[in-house]
Amino acid sequence: MNRRPTKAPDRAQPAATEELRHRIARELGSHGLKGTPQRMLVAQLLLRAPRHMTAEQILKEINHTGHRVSKATVYNTLNMLSEHGLIREINLGGDHTVYDSTATPHHHFHNVDTGELVDIRPDQLDLQRLPPLPEGTEAAGVEVVIRVRQRTG
């Protein structure tokens, strides 16, 4: 395999990688899903650190490691992981979807200039007054995206 020097600070050490593999396989198994090698690649890449990535970025990083996974497999795996609550899908408008390795509820800053997403812990945002819910509904979740841009001048 083609080993490149790593510069990304979030690369996990081998021991942690092994632990992560087991955790993912266990979680997939608990949802009745098979941890096929390709699913494992996609899941490990996203879940090894708190991060937000598009499907394209995930595909690119996997290809960089010398593995080959099709675009369809990446999308299918991400959909499956998000349907089972192992990751979160954040839609930023249009077809701009970002996948979040942090599956517990939280909010985001979205920098519209850089595209960067930054987590906001739930306790950092005060949602005291919500409007009455539409008749016959109950709240299924509240996620806030605060759009920011680079300040000029």
- Interface positions with Zn ion (CB under 5 A): 100, 102, 119
41 and 69 Cβ atoms separated by less than 8 Å: yes
What residues contact residue 34 under an 8 Å CB cut-off, 6+ apart? Answer: 28
> In whole angstroms, how close is the CB of 134 to Zn ion at the nearest point?
27
41 and 67 Cβ atoms separated by less than 8 Å: yes
Closer residue to Zn ion (CB): 61 or 119: 119
Closer residue to Zn ion (CB): 97 or 102: 102
Q: How far is CA 41 from the centre of its chain?
A: 14
DSSP 29-57: HHTT----HHHHHHHHHHHTSS-EE-HHH
Closer residue to Zn ion (CB): 69 or 86: 86
> In whole angstroms, how close is the CB of 119 to Zn ion at the nearest point?
4
Closer residue to Zn ion (CB): 123 or 135: 123
Residues making up the chain, counted from first to last: 153
**Can you say whether the dihedral through the CA atoms of 20, 25, 29, 31 is positive or negative?**
positive
> In whole angstroms, how close is the CB of 102 to Zn ion at the nearest point?
5
> In whole angstroms, how close is the CB of 2 to Zn ion at the nearest point?
31
Identify the bridge partners of residue 119 per DSSP, sorted by sequence position: 108
Closer residue to Zn ion (CB): 27 or 100: 100
> In whole angstroms, how close is the CB of 65 to Zn ion at the nearest point?
24
